[in-house]
């Protein structure tokens, strides 16, 4: 539970920590979006992302590198690292600061903290609920403190076993979660490629991950650099571990790949450590779980016999688009982007994103 650092008033219900989701920083998508986090959860952003923002040209490469950003980005955050993300419905005892409420349908959070402690008036965080934004409350780390209380019950188990999230929404468009998760993971995948060709597994992995490497890395068919293999590795799918009991994980683990697409732990965000020498490429756990066992994901199909009356699920009318903005945002924060080959890849990708290059 979080409380005001000034007066001690309770500012949240009891919450349990989860990994920071990739779509916490995605904008766009549908006009009215739900909260980033489900009820009863909180996450911490180890990096500064909020206002005050300063333009790249004012900051310069050296000062940016000192803040953990190694390639040009439109704006650099000079906010505090360690901001705490909650679902707006899990906050208590706060009032809005009306003159800080920017945005058109709600608050966009661009003017600094717009939430104050209702008891003492201290600025404690920022509510974001404008159109085209995932709803969120971000508490400022130095304005609140943690109260140790019994949190919500964790589901049984070690947390790795999460249901797969389908890549397509019921109305037939690609999932925003997938776009954000794959965009973020692509930054790690490109860095781990060392600039050589990648061989991805056929099927959905290639559908969602394939187009960006195909555009910026050499073809695996080209002579020269040896191609690196990529495979899903994680609970139930790790060549160095016992074959898993995960339903539908198929024939079990294959040979160890060069690069391993691994899940991030749903509670801690820590990447699964592949056995052997594979380089881990972390991916959102629910997206990973679907890629590993699509047939195990829950569906709402009616029972056999009734099925003939149910329309087939809708399908996207355009190719999958990883979130390029999140890809660049993550890539700019990987120290490897200072290597000339990766910086050239970064510049090529950035040139295709309107408004990204400063
Ligand atoms: Zn207070
Ligand atoms: Zn609006």
Out of 73-82, 139-148, 232-241, 261-270, pick the least confident.
232-241
Q: Which ligand lies nearest to the CA atom of residue 105 in the structure?
A: 2
Burial per residue of 312-347, b for 16 or more beta-carbon CB atoms within 10 angstroms, e otherwise: eeeeeeeebebbbbbbbbbbbbbebbeeeebbebbe
Q: Collapse the DSSP code of 283 into the 3-class scheme (helix H, G, I; strand E, B; otherwise coil) and give the result.
A: strand
Cβ-based neighbours of 223, under 8 Å, separated by 6 or more:
none
Q: Which ligand lies nearest to the CA atom of residue 94 in the structure?
A: 1
CA–CA gap between residue 355 and residue 179 (Å, rounded): 19
Encoding tokens for residue 201?
């597994």
Per-residue confidence band for 156, with pLDDT thresholds at 50, 70 and 90 = confident
pLDDT > 70 fraction of the chain, expressed in percent and rounded: 93
Residues with CB in 5 Å of ion ligand 2 = 104-105, 131
Mean pLDDT of 5-10: 98
Report, in this order, helix, strand and coil percent for the chain, each rounded to 5: 25, 20, 55
Decide: 73 and 328 in contact? Cβ < 8 Å: yes
Q: Which ligand lies nearest to the CA atom of residue 102 in the structure?
A: 2
Report the Cα–Cα distance between both ends of the chain, in Å, rounded: 40
Could you tell me whether strands 75-77 and 53-55 are parallel, antiparallel, or unpaired per DSSP bridges? antiparallel
Ligand 1 centroid, distance to 83 Cα (angstroms): 17
Ligand 2 centroid, distance to 132 Cα (angstroms): 7
Ligand 1 centroid, distance to 97 Cα (angstroms): 14
* Closest by CA position to 220, among listed 250, 193, 196, 252: 196
Read off the pLDDT of residues 20-60 as tens digits, 9 standing for 90 and up.
999 999 987 778 899 999 999 999 999 998 889 999 999 99
Ligand 2 centroid, distance to 95 Cα (angstroms): 21
Please say whether the dihedral angle defined by the alpha carbons of residues 176, 268, 20 and 46, taken in this order, is positive or negative. negative
Classify residue 199 by its DSSP letter: E
Ligand 2 centroid, distance to 107 Cα (angstroms): 9
Classify residue 327 by its DSSP letter: H
Per-residue confidence band for 221, with pLDDT thresholds at 50, 70 and 90 = confident
Ligand 2 centroid, distance to 173 Cα (angstroms): 22
Could you tell me whether strands 2-4 and 228-232 are parallel, antiparallel, or unpaired per DSSP bridges? unpaired
Q: Where are the alpha helices (DSSP H) in 20-110?
A: 56-59, 61-66
Residue 242: the pLDDT is 54
Mean pLDDT of 4-12: 98
Decide: 247 and 232 in contact? Cβ < 8 Å: no
Q: What global pTM score does this model have?
A: 0.91
* Closest by CA position to 311, among listed 204, 172, 173, 174: 172
Per-residue confidence band for 244, with pLDDT thresholds at 50, 70 and 90 = very low
Q: Which ligand lies nearest to the CA atom of residue 107 in the structure?
A: 2
Ligand 2 centroid, distance to 219 Cα (angstroms): 43
Ligand 2 centroid, distance to 184 Cα (angstroms): 26
Ligand 2 centroid, distance to 349 Cα (angstroms): 29
Q: Where are the alpha helices (DSSP H) in the chain?
A: 56-59, 61-66, 176-192, 204-209, 211-216, 285-292, 324-331, 340-351
Cβ-based neighbours of 358, under 8 Å, separated by 6 or more:
55, 56, 57, 72, 73, 74
Ligand 2 centroid, distance to 134 Cα (angstroms): 13
Decide: 185 and 283 in contact? Cβ < 8 Å: yes
Ligand 1 centroid, distance to 116 Cα (angstroms): 8
Ligand 1 centroid, distance to 85 Cα (angstroms): 18
Place of tokens 């781990």: 192
Residues with CB in 5 Å of ion ligand 1 = 4, 6-7, 9, 117, 119-120, 122
Residue 210: the pLDDT is 97
Place of tokens 């389908």: 166
Q: Which ligand lies nearest to the CA atom of residue 124 in the structure?
A: 1
Backbone angles phi, psi at 151, to 5 degrees: -85, 180
Ligand 2 centroid, distance to 96 Cα (angstroms): 18
Ligand 2 centroid, distance to 104 Cα (angstroms): 4
State the chain's maximal CA–CA distance in angstroms. Answer: 68
CA–CA gap between residue 212 and residue 205 (Å, rounded): 12
Per-residue confidence band for 298, with pLDDT thresholds at 50, 70 and 90 = low
Ligand 2 centroid, distance to 105 Cα (angstroms): 4
Q: Which ligand lies nearest to the CA atom of residue 130 in the structure?
A: 2
Q: Which ligand lies nearest to the CA atom of residue 131 in the structure?
A: 2
Mean pLDDT of 67-94: 95
Cβ of 171: how many Cβ atoms within 10 Å? Answer: 8
Out of 3-12, 23-32, 84-93, 201-210, pick the least confident.
23-32
Ligand 2 centroid, distance to 30 Cα (angstroms): 11
Classify residue 307 by its DSSP letter: G
Residue 247: the pLDDT is 43
The answer, yes or no, to whether residue 252 has pLDDT greater than 50, is no
């Amino acid at each position: 539970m979080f409380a005001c650092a000034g007066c001690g008033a309770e500012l949240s219900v009891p919450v349990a920590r989860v990994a920071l989701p990739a779509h916490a920083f995605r904008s766009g998508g549908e006009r009215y979006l739900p909260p980033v986090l489900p009820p009863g959860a909180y996450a911490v952003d180890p990096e500064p992302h909020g206002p005050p923002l300063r333009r790249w040209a004012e900051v310069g490469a050296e000062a940016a590198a000192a803040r953990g950003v190694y390639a040009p980005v439109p704006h650099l955050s000079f906010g505090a690292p360690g901001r705490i993300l909650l679902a707006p419905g899990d906050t208590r005892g706060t009032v809005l600061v009306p003159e800080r409420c920017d945005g058109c349908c709600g608050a966009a959070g661009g003017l600094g903290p717009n939430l104050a402690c209702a008891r003492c008036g201290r600025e404690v965080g920022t509510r974001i609920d404008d159109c085209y934004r995932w709803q969120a409350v971000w508490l400022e780390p130095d304005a609140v403190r943690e109260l140790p209380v019994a949190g919500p019950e964790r589901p049984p188990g070690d947390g790795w076993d999460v249901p797969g999230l389908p890549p397509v929404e019921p109305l037939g468009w690609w999932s925003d979660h997938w776009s954000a998760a794959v965009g973020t993971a692509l930054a790690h995948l490109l860095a781990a490629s060392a600039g050589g060709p990648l061989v991805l597994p056929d099927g959905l992995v290639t559908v969602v991950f394939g187009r960006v490497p195909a555009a910026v890395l050499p073809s695996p068919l080209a002579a020269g650099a040896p191609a690196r293999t990529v495979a899903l590795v994680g609970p139930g799918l790790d060549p160095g571990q016992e074959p898993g009991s995960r339903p539908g994980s198929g024939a079990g683990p294959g040979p160890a790949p060069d690069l391993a697409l691994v899940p991030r732990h749903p509670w801690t965000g820590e990447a699964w450590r592949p056995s052997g020498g594979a380089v881990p490429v972390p991916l959102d756990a629910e997206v990973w779980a679907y890629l590993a066992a699509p047939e195990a994901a829950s569906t709402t199909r009616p029972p056999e016999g009734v099925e003939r009356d149910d329309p087939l699920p809708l399908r996207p009318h355009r190719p999958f688009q990883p979130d390029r903005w999140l890809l660049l945002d993550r890539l700019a924060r990987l120290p490897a982007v200072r290597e000339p080959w990766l910086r050239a890849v970064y510049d090529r990708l950035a040139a295709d994103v309107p408004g990204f290059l400063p």
